[in-house]
Amino acid sequence: MQPDAQKRRSRSGCTECRQRHRKCDEKKPACTGCERAGKQCTYTMRLSWGGRPFSKSRFGECMKSDPSLVQLPVVSSSVDINDGKDPSLATPPPSSASDDPIEFESRLIRYTPPTPEVQANPFELSWLPKQQQNLLDHFISCTTLSMSCHSPIQDMFCRVLVPMATQTPHLMNALLSLAATHRLTLGMDQSMSELNHLKVSSLRQLQDALARPGASLDESVVATTLTLCHSDFVSDGRSPGSWRSHLQGTTAIISSYLEKSKASPDSLTNTMSLLWRWYLSIETVALLTGNLVMPNDSRALLQMRKLISDDKIDDLAGFSSSLGPIFKKINRLAIEADLALKQDEGHFPADSDPKNRIPLSVLDESYQLINEIHSKMGPQERRFRPTVDASVHKNDFATVDEAFHHVALVQIYRRILNLTSTDPLVQSSVKHIISRICKVRFLGEPCPGIAVLQPLFTAGCEASAGPDRDSINTLLLSFEHRYGMGNARNCRSFLQDLWAMRDKSDDVEGKTRWDKLMVDKGLDILPY
């Protein structure tokens, strides 16, 4: 018994050994002690920005005493970016040993390692320059909040992306670039040279990683492309269309990854499951932007979509997974309808009803979709993922989901059937969207309100009455001030231009389509 009493607690060992204050040999996937005892072996890392560990603070004690509360990232709130310095590449040195007194132990993060071999303690971040520590601080505490409809989703973003980034330079720079972009759109002090440097560094490092002989596509590559895509569309629109190229690249990478790994929904790691849902939510909203031609799905992608496209509300996207295939069909039918109208130009009078020139097959599919959408909005009870079912935001999730179903209807009416904005069918859905979103709360925590930008933008593009426009403008301002995403500001600015143009040109019926105007203006806004 005496030798056991002298064993020291391992700082980077598994959770079981740490709790029992015994030395851990840190074998993966299970240490020797846990194997012998038949215990589940999990590895947890502690991340802190100095000061008392969060678990020992007063607030941490309260969180532990009430299991109904969900732990959120708690990091320092003071951020001081030195604009006069160019940041160095966010690349860890060969050794993580350091005399730096800064410790990283304010937030307990559980994660599934992306690869079998993981560094002993990947949260020794003393190699990260101070200004980049501040950016990572902002990403964990603020940016992930503005990306998450639900507290467990914010936690997943942190525990999946941050550990992976400590081992992957191109992902670390992508996360820091996203944080810097978010700070900029919030109006905070942020160096543009630093932002540009981080983005360029991430792109170069990603290209180098993919160009390496024998390089394999892994989860970190998918995570980096998604992060760069997200950073592009929440910016102030400095690079129109860049998010599309990142999204299309991500589609190809995910398709190749699924083909090679032979992955199925049941076999996906926690990391890939999050990345897949993140990708699907972006792609689904992107399909509503108009003029989006996505590459044909591989067999693996088709199988994956088919298996997970259920009617449950996804707490990452904020709407039912079954809407994904519907939006995909709407986008395809809209492209076919536009092509038919272009081919018939000059053969019909300019004032002829566009609906009479649309192929019957397109019309039939459109009416079938309309019936399907209405059936999903029927009196049946909404279905949720288990994590949503017990959420205090359950009603808001259902409300946002209903708004997205009306978005689908408006898209069919306007982009396929070419009805005018003032058509009663269009206006009915516009008013439904406004009335629903007025009931949704915009909170300073992860909540379904974060997902309302697309429904607000859709309703705004077709709003013809002054009170409706005022309501949408007010809601967009509230959203922008609360979450600080640049695309919210871009949406509001575009809507004001669209309304002014329609009023000036006496387009009382609202014949001008917003997607055509966006192309004419050279804009490419993704209201995500």
pLDDT digits (tens, 9 = 90+) for 248-263: 888 888 888 777 776 6
Q: What is the share, in percent, of the chain residues with pLDDT greater than 70?
A: 71
Range(s) of the domain holding residue 400: 312-520
Same domain, residue pair 187 and 233: yes
- Strand-pair partners of 46: 108
Q: Tens of pLDDT along 466-518?
A: 999 999 999 999 999 888 888 899 999 999 999 999 999 988 888 888 888 88
Same domain, residue pair 327 and 244: no
Structural domain includes residue 526:
no
Predicted local confidence at residue 87, as pLDDT: 38
What average pLDDT does range 70-91 have in this prediction?
36
User: How high does pLDDT run on average in the chain?
Assistant: 77
What average pLDDT does range 40-68 have in this prediction?
45
- 3 state DSSP class of 384: strand
Q: Which of 293, 308, 323 is the last residue of a domain?
A: 308
- Rounded to whole angstroms, how far apart are CA atoms 520 and 60? 53
Same domain, residue pair 488 and 368: yes
Same domain, residue pair 299 and 316: no
Predicted local confidence at residue 217, as pLDDT: 76
- Strand-pair partners of 44: 110
Structural domain includes residue 500:
yes
Identify the residue whose tokens are 């909040």.
Answer: 145
pLDDT band of residue 416 (cuts 50, 70, 90) is very high
Structural domain includes residue 188:
yes
Structural domain includes residue 47:
no
Structural domain includes residue 525:
no
Q: Tens of pLDDT along 460-480?
A: 999 999 999 999 999 999 999
User: Where does residue 207 rank: exposed (0-12), middle (13-18), buried (19+ CB within 10 A)?
Assistant: exposed
What average pLDDT does range 390-411 have in this prediction?
90
pLDDT band of residue 82 (cuts 50, 70, 90) is very low
Q: Tens of pLDDT along 202-227?
A: 999 999 988 887 667 788 999 999 99
Q: Which of 255, 285, 308 is the last residue of a domain?
A: 308
Same domain, residue pair 369 and 430: yes
Phi, psi of 375 (to 5 degrees): -65, -35
Q: For residues 436 and 403, is the Cβ–Cβ distance under 8 A?
A: yes
Structural domain includes residue 528:
no
Structure tokens that stand for 151 in this block: 């507290």
Structure tokens that stand for 372 in this block: 């399907």
User: Which range is most confident: 98-112, 140-154, 303-317, 381-395?
Assistant: 140-154
Same domain, residue pair 199 and 301: yes
Same domain, residue pair 225 and 348: no
Structural domain includes residue 193:
yes
Q: Tens of pLDDT along 84-140?
A: 333 333 433 333 333 333 232 332 333 333 333 333 333 456 778 888 999 999 999
- Strand-pair partners of 43: 14
Q: Tens of pLDDT along 277-312?
A: 899 899 889 888 876 666 566 566 666 666 555 678
Predicted local confidence at residue 99, as pLDDT: 35
Phi, psi of 152 (to 5 degrees): -60, -30
Task: Kindly tell me if the per-residue pLDDT of 326 is higher than 80.
Answer: yes
Task: Kindly tell me if the per-residue pLDDT of 198 is higher than 70.
Answer: yes
Same domain, residue pair 85 and 97: yes
Task: Kindly tell me if the per-residue pLDDT of 444 is higher than 60.
Answer: yes
Task: Kindly tell me if the per-residue pLDDT of 267 is higher than 90.
Answer: no
Least confident of 76-90, 150-164, 251-265: 76-90
Structural domain includes residue 48:
no
Task: Kindly tell me if the per-residue pLDDT of 241 is higher than 90.
Answer: no
Q: Which of 261, 280, 308 is the last residue of a domain?
A: 308
Same domain, residue pair 397 and 505: yes
Same domain, residue pair 217 and 131: yes
Report the domain count for the chain: 3
Task: Kindly tell me if the per-residue pLDDT of 51 is higher than 60.
Answer: no
Same domain, residue pair 208 and 272: yes
Same domain, residue pair 414 and 441: yes
CA angle 102, 45, 121 (to 5 degrees): 70
Task: Kindly tell me if the per-residue pLDDT of 49 is higher than 90.
Answer: no
